[in-house]
DNA sequence: TCTGGGGTCCTAGGACCC
DNA sequence: TCTGGGGTCCTAGGACCC
């Protein structure tokens, strides 16, 4: 069967978090809105197009965004709502084709090569998909379609908001050449700076540099990758199953944490959250990583890989304390703590019986059960409940927002 | 303007094994 | 016991993405 030449589609929801918020609060329509942290250290996770016109963009400190756009309506994130909306969107996408590769909560690649019998053109497919998503969820989306992943992704960006862009086969390099090299998927701030030193401003400039030169300057892996992308060569197929490799939680504190006791208390809270996330996902972690960010933003990690997979707060907390010792934080103020698990094992797999932690599994399983039925606040650890008449704890003022990507 | 939270992948060195 | 080379795993840091 003949396939569409432009057989890869990239679907991207427009200002996803903002649009989900607008569904339930119509007063947010037509005005500048940002979803993100409301505290002094919060950043913008998602900005409406009205806000973007005032220079507000994601990852910008919220305080800056408010100064930039005094009329900005700021909404704290609601990850559960975005998760539910995401599931609804993906269900609609999968009704068009099973060949879907999710990239995040709000975007995906689709292999539409085989859909020629159902749609007269790639654009016809895109129109049908966007209408179905809007009809089913009320949410706007944009679609880019091209012969390779890189171009489909860049095209959906150019199609925004609420549009479609097809890059016809044969026009790939002409489409890429005038764009700034920073627009290339995989060129961030650091690589951009190094490319500038080479005199590279546009993707066309990049394509004119010999691959060997790029490999020498950027390393063989990145060098050959960028050399290929700049020439619109991107053989990566649309792939289905994405396997989770790590699960982590982290928290930036409104005020820096100081002293061992405060850090231990926060690590216990994190061990609790991480254990809950691991068990909900059906995993146990052989590897545990502690992340510490200091007041000057310098960041260190300490990790340990053991033999036994862990998924109880009790065991994760013990591992975290051992890592905290190794980090030798001392009295330095800490603005962020993080705890993560990797080397994930299927929790259902038979595990070595560890007598030292006997009983915790069952106890925490029961606690988890209560949380699932009555919410996370139904059960708390005695150590985490604020005792009366205690001096104010630095950094305890930040609620756990658990925000996700825009 | 002072920088969130949750991920993936790459690099580079060292340990260890054959 | 003056020592090759490859494979694999672990650790730490960093770039990048949404």
Domains of chain A, earliest start first: 173-230 (1.10.150.20), 246-384 (3.30.1490.100)
Average pLDDT (A377-395) is 49
Active-site hit among A6, A50, A107, A266: A107
Q: Is the CB of A43 under 7 A from strand B?
A: yes
Using a 10 angstrom Cβ sphere, with 0-12 exposed, 13-18 middle and 19 or more buried, the burial of residue A387 is exposed
Judged by C1' against the alpha carbon of A336, the nearest nucleotide is B4
- Per-residue pLDDT tens digits for A160-200: 999 999 999 999 999 999 999 999 999 999 999 999 999 99
Instruction: State the pLDDT at residue A379.
Output: 63
What is the percent of chain A where pLDDT is above 70?
Answer: 85
Q: Is the CB of A328 under 7 A from strand C?
A: no
Mean pLDDT rounded to a whole number for chain A: 89
Q: Is the CB of A219 under 7 A from strand C?
A: no
Average pLDDT (A395-399) is 36
Q: Does A317 have pLDDT greater than 80? A: yes
Instruction: State the pLDDT at residue A391.
Output: 37
Q: How long is the CA A289 to C1' C11 vector, in angstroms?
A: 10
* Chain B nucleotides covered by protein, CB below 7 Å: 1-12
| The most confident of A301-310, A363-372, A392-401, by mean pLDDT | A301-310
Confidence of residue A2 (pLDDT cuts 50, 70, 90): confident
Average pLDDT (A46-72) is 96
Q: How long is the CA A338 to C1' B7 vector, in angstroms?
A: 13
More confident call, A389 vs A103: A103
Q: Is the CB of A250 under 7 A from strand B?
A: yes
- Helix A260-281 to helix A313-327 angle, to the nearest 10 degrees? 140
Q: Does A362 have pLDDT greater than 90? A: no
Judged by C1' against the alpha carbon of A39, the nearest nucleotide is B4
Residue linked to tokens 């100081």: A258
Judged by C1' against the alpha carbon of A402, the nearest nucleotide is B5
Q: Does A349 have pLDDT greater than 70? A: no
Q: Is the CB of A222 under 7 A from strand B?
A: yes
Separation CA A152–CA A167 (nearest Å)? 8
Separation CA A9–CA A12 (nearest Å)? 10
Residue of A199, A207, A130, A220 lying closest to A172 (CA atoms): A207
* Chain C nucleotides covered by protein, CB below 7 Å: 9-18
Q: Is the CB of A189 under 7 A from strand C?
A: yes
Judged by C1' against the alpha carbon of A274, the nearest nucleotide is B6
Confidence of residue A25 (pLDDT cuts 50, 70, 90): very high
- In this prediction the pTM is 0.88
Instruction: State the pLDDT at residue A242.
Output: 73
Average pLDDT (A71-91) is 96
Instruction: State the pLDDT at residue A363.
Output: 63
Confidence of residue A226 (pLDDT cuts 50, 70, 90): very high
- Per-residue pLDDT tens digits for A105-137: 999 999 999 999 999 999 999 999 999 999 999
Q: How long is the CA A304 to C1' C9 vector, in angstroms?
A: 12
* A368 included as an active-site residue: no
Least reliable range by pLDDT among A111-120, A294-303, A371-380: A371-380
């Amino acid at each position: 069967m003949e396939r569409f030449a432009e057989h890869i589609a990239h679907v991207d929801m427009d200002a996803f978090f903002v649009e989900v918020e607008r569904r339930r609060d119509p007063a947010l329509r037509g005005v500048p809105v940002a979803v993100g942290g409301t505290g002094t250290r919060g950043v913008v996770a998602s900005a409406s197009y009205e806000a973007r016109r005032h220079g507000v963009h994601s990852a910008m400190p919220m305080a800056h965004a408010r100064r930039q756009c005094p009329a900005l309506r700021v909404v704290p994130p609601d990850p559960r709502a975005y998760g539910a909306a995401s599931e609804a969107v993906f269900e609609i996408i999968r009704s068009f084709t099973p060949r879907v590769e999710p990239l995040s909560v709000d975007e995906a690649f689709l292999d539409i090569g085989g859909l020629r019998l159902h749609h007269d053109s790639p654009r016809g497919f895109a129109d049908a998909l966007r209408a179905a998503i809007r009809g089913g969820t009320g949410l706007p989306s944009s679609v880019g379609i091209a012969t390779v992943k890189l171009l489909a992704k860049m095209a959906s960006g150019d199609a925004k908001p609420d549009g479609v862009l097809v890059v016809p086969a044969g026009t790939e390099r002409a489409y890429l050449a005038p764009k700034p090299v920073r627009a290339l998927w995989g060129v961030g701030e650091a690589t951009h700076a190094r490319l500038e030193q080479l005199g590279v401003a546009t993707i066309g400039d990049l394509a004119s540099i010999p691959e060997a030169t790029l490999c020498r300057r950027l390393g063989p892996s990145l060098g050959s990758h960028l050399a290929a992308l700049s020439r619109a060569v991107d053989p990566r197929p649309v792939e289905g199953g994405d396997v989770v490799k790590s699960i982590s939680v982290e928290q930036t504190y409104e005020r820096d944490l100081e002293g061992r006791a405060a850090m231990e208390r926060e690590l216990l809270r994190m061990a609790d959250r991480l254990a809950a996330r691991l068990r909900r996902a059906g995993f146990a972690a052989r590897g545990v990583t502690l992340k510490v960010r200091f007041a000057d933003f310098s960041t260190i990690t300490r990790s340990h890989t053991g033999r036994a997979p862990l998924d109880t707060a009790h065991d994760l907390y013990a591992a975290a304390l051992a890592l905290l010792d190794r980090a030798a934080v001392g009295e330095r103020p800490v603005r962020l703590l993080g705890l993560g698990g990797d080397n994930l094992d299927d929790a259902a797999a038979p595990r070595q019986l560890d007598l030292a932690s006997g009983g915790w599994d069952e106890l925490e399983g029961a606690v988890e059960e209560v949380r699932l039925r009555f919410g996370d606040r139904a059960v708390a650890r005695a150590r985490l409940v604020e005792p009366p008449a205690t001096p104010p704890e630095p950094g305890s003022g930040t609620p756990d927002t658990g925000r996700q990507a825009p």
